[in-house]
């Protein structure tokens, strides 16, 4: 998954500058260097940017601001975000619904249940790497075709899984489906196309998309409970195909291209048809068009940052630990709620408690975001990146509290505990899980700017990798620890571990500046941001002067810096 989306590809200068710190408006009412969205659009320069040695002129974002995703009306932006929610839910559902077919797979192919779980593990691990493999292609080819290809391939691999003559076919199909899943590398890239990190709508968009990312797994568990009880085994895969096909169709008809360089290329072609023969888009001038050396460099950067950046490493491990909890619960819920006589579909419905927690966490962030936006409107430099961890300071301890509570309410009806008790503590765990993912993503976007794609890519890799491992250890973990309290001790161990992994949140909140000052990526960001701001200020001033001169004598004065 990956937010500003690896915009340091060679030759992609307009997008790189956009990621470097820019102040494009999120809507038509906000201003950039004192120039609002419509005013900026009105300053379109017919001749584009500066001429090159070959006489060609590169079209820049400032030349056609009204054609880019930043200028979309709010209703259109949120329509796209809602469809992104459907896509993310579908992709994460593919991972979790498989757990409901483990018993059937074990029986049909005469294999152990532990071996049957390999299908879930391999999908999640490949999913983590797949997100990174797809990211550069969405930069070069555009978000829309890359997302369509990803959805098509994921849906395609459901066919051999549903019709598999042996278990090996299912493993191969699941691995290919995981690698074909673009996930957050495109999803969060679209957000970067629609909003700048400084825009008031940016954090609302991130919060909404994070809700879909964490909510997909429990939705899969709820649907899988009914499929496992009332339908045949193959419907575990047919259901993924039906939902994935519907989502792909919605995306095909309703979501436009949002990638800035692609839109600039299209606009340049239109202008050449209208007589401006020397205008070219940024990708049209890039030689070579698909630099494989740069692709490899971009693919490797998330792993480099994961290993060398303490902020990325610690927050990614924390986020991965929280996600692994959810997939651990996919196994723990069954023995826990069977104590109250729950049937498979009722165990699936128990995951609604996770959804309740995620929605509550999402709603709790809205006033925090509103307050921070108000402060930034008064002084853009007043809040540091660490401010985005503030609300997490209060939510993170709920993970430990929830795990301890879930552990000892798992004693069951023999101890007079009602079935709703472990669900209440599941709500607390879900609130913390959402907060950890949302705040860690948000913080890394603010701290690493154009490298946010790579930093959040490490976050996604950790989440999917640890969740995949959890799919294998969860059942033995809840069956082989202790003699009397076999359900309680494992969750207690997880609660103790959570105390350790949430400590870095408080360290980075108070000392994050110290770590960023020693980060080579953050240092590059500061230098690049200063240069980009100066270039953009000069561009806006030049555009404002040109418009003022052309309308001398009667036109209104365009506000300048």
Average pLDDT of 510-537? 70
Average pLDDT of 291-319? 81
- Quick check: 11 pLDDT over 90? no
537 pLDDT band (50/70/90 cuts)?
Answer: low
Q: How far apart are CA 342 and CA 419, in angstroms?
A: 9
pLDDT score at 155: 97
Strands 35-36 and 57-58: unpaired
At residue 415, what are phi and psi to the nearest 5 degrees? -105, 15
Does 135 map to a domain? yes
The pLDDT tens digits of the residues spanning 498-510 come to: 898 888 889 989 9
Does 456 map to a domain? yes
Angle ∠(15,20,22) on CA atoms, nearest 5 = 90
- Tell me which of 59 and 4 has the higher pLDDT: 59
300 pLDDT band (50/70/90 cuts)?
Answer: confident
Q: How far apart are CA 214 and CA 95, in angstroms?
A: 12
Mean pLDDT of the chain: 82
Structural element, H or E, at residue 148:
helix 143-156
**First-to-final CA distance of the chain:** 37
pLDDT score at 459: 78
pLDDT score at 77: 97
pLDDT score at 342: 95
pLDDT score at 504: 87
Strands 31-32 and 35-36: antiparallel
Across 71-85, 109-123, 469-483, least confident range: 469-483
Q: Of 284, 258, 273, which is closest to residue 58 (Cα–Cα)?
A: 284
Tell me which residue has tokens 């673009």: 182
Q: How far apart are CA 470 and CA 99, in angstroms?
A: 12
Does 166 map to a domain? yes
Does 53 map to a domain? no
Half-sphere exposure at residue 59, Cβ-oriented, CA atoms within 13 angstroms: 28
Q: How far apart are CA 355 and CA 211, in angstroms?
A: 9
User: Could you tell me if 98 and 119 are in contact, meaning their C-beta atoms sit under 8 angstroms apart?
Assistant: yes
Pair of tokens at residue 410: 């798992």
pLDDT score at 383: 86
pLDDT score at 452: 67
If DSSP states are collapsed to H, E and C, what string results for 208-264?
Answer: HHHHHHHHHHHHHHHHHHHHHHHCCCCHHHHHHHHHHHHHHHHHHHHCCCCCHHHHH
- Tell me which of 133 and 373 has the higher pLDDT: 373
130 pLDDT band (50/70/90 cuts)?
Answer: confident
- Quick check: 218 pLDDT over 70? yes
pLDDT score at 38: 40
Does 272 map to a domain? no
538 pLDDT band (50/70/90 cuts)?
Answer: low
535 pLDDT band (50/70/90 cuts)?
Answer: low
pLDDT score at 536: 56
Q: Of 62, 57, 46, which is closest to residue 280 (Cα–Cα)?
A: 57
Does 205 map to a domain? yes
- Quick check: 234 pLDDT over 90? yes
- Quick check: 154 pLDDT over 90? yes
pLDDT score at 6: 41
Q: Of 189, 196, 166, 4, which is closest to residue 84 (Cα–Cα)?
A: 189
- Quick check: 373 pLDDT over 70? yes
Residue-range definition of the domain harbouring residue 161? 69-259+301-522
Average pLDDT of 10-33? 37
pLDDT score at 542: 57
482 φψ region: left (φ > 0), alpha (ψ -120 to 50), beta (else): left
The pLDDT tens digits of the residues spanning 382-426 come to: 888 889 899 999 999 999 999 999 999 999 999 999 999 999 999
Task: Count structural domains, the chain.
Answer: 1
- Quick check: 43 pLDDT over 60? no
Q: What is the CATH number of the domain that holds 340?
A: 1.20.1250.20
pLDDT score at 297: 79
pLDDT score at 539: 57
Q: Whole-model pTM? A: 0.82
3-state DSSP assignment of residue 341:
coil
Does 373 map to a domain? yes
Q: Of 220, 473, 486, 175, which is closest to residue 331 (Cα–Cα)?
A: 473
Q: Of 528, 536, 376, which is closest to residue 451 (Cα–Cα)?
A: 528
- Quick check: 543 pLDDT over 60? no
pLDDT score at 93: 92
Instruction: Name every residue whose Cβ is closer than 8 Å to that of residue 154 and which is 6 or more positions away in sequence.
Output: 91, 94, 177, 180, 181, 244
Average pLDDT of 436-440? 90
- Tell me which of 94 and 450 has the higher pLDDT: 94
- Tell me which of 530 and 466 has the higher pLDDT: 466
SS3 content of the chain, % helix, strand, coil (to 5): 75, 0, 25
- Quick check: 560 pLDDT over 80? no
Does 464 map to a domain? yes
């Amino acid at each position: 998954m990956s937010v500003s989306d690896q915009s340091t590809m060679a030759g992609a200068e307009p997008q790189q500058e956009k990621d470097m710190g820019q102040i494009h408006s999120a809507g038509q009412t906000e201003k950039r260097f004192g120039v609002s969205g419509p005013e900026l659009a009105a300053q379109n320069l017919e001749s584009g940017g500066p001429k090159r040695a070959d006489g060609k002129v590169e079209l820049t974002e400032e030349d056609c601001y009204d054609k880019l995703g930043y200028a979309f009306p709010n209703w259109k932006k949120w329509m796209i975000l809602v469809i992104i929610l459907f896509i993310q839910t579908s992709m994460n559902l593919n991972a979790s619904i498989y757990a409901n077919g483990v018993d059937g797979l074990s029986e049909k192919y005469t294999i152990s249940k532990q071996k049957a779980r390999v299908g879930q593990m391999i999908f999640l691990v490949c999913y983590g790497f797949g997100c990174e493999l797809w990211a550069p292609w969405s930069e070069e080819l555009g978000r829309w075709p890359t997302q369509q290809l990803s959805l098509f391939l994921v849906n395609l691999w459901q066919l051999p899984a549903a019709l598999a003559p042996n278990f090996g076919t299912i493993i191969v199909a699941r691995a290919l489906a995981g690698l074909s899943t673009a996930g957050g590398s495109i999803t969060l890239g679209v957000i970067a196309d629609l909003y700048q990190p400084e825009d008031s709508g940016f954090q609302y968009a991130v919060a909404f998309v994070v809700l879909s990312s964490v909510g997909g797994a429990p939705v899969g568990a709820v649907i899988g409970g009914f499929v496992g009880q009332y339908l045949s085994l193959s419907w575990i895969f047919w259901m993924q195909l039906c939902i994935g096909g519907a989502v792909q169709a919605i995306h095909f008809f309703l979501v436009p291209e949002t990638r800035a360089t692609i839109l600039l290329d299209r606009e340049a072609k239109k202008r050449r048809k209208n007589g401006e023969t020397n205008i070219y888009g940024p990708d049209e001038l890039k030689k070579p068009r698909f630099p494989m050396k740069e692709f490899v460099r971009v693919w490797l950067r998330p792993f480099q940052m994961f290993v060398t950046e303490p902020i990325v490493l610690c927050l990614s491990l924390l986020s991965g630990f929280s996600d692994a909890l959810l997939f651990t619960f996919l196994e723990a819920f069954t023995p826990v709620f069977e104590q109250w006589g729950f049937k498979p579909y009722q165990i699936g419905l128990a995951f609604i408690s996770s959804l309740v927690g995620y929605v509550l966490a999402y709603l709790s962030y809205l006033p925090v975001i509103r307050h921070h936006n108000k402060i930034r409107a008064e002084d853009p430099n007043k809040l540091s990146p660490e401010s985005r961890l503030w609300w997490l300071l209060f939510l993170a301890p709920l993970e430990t509290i929830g795990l301890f509570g879930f552990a000892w309410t798992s004693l069951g009806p023999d101890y007079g505990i009602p079935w709703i008790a472990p669900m209440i503590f599941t709500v607390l765990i879900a609130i913390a899980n959402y907060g950890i993912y949302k705040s860690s993503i948000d913080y890394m976007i603010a701290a690493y700017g154009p490298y946010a794609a790579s930093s959040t890519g490490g976050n996604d890799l950790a989440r999917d990798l640890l969740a995949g491992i959890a799919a294998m250890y969860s059942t033995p973990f809840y069956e082989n620890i202790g003699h009397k309290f076999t359900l309680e001790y494992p969750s207690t161990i997880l609660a103790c571990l959570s105390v350790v992994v949430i400590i870095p949140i408080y360290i980075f909140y108070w000392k994050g500046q110290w770590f960023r000052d020693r980060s080579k990526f953050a240092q590059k960001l500061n230098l690049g941001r200063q240069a980009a701001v100066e270039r953009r200020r000069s561009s806006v001033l030049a555009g404002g002067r040109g418009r003022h001169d052309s309308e001398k004598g009667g036109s209104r004065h365009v506000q300048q810096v």
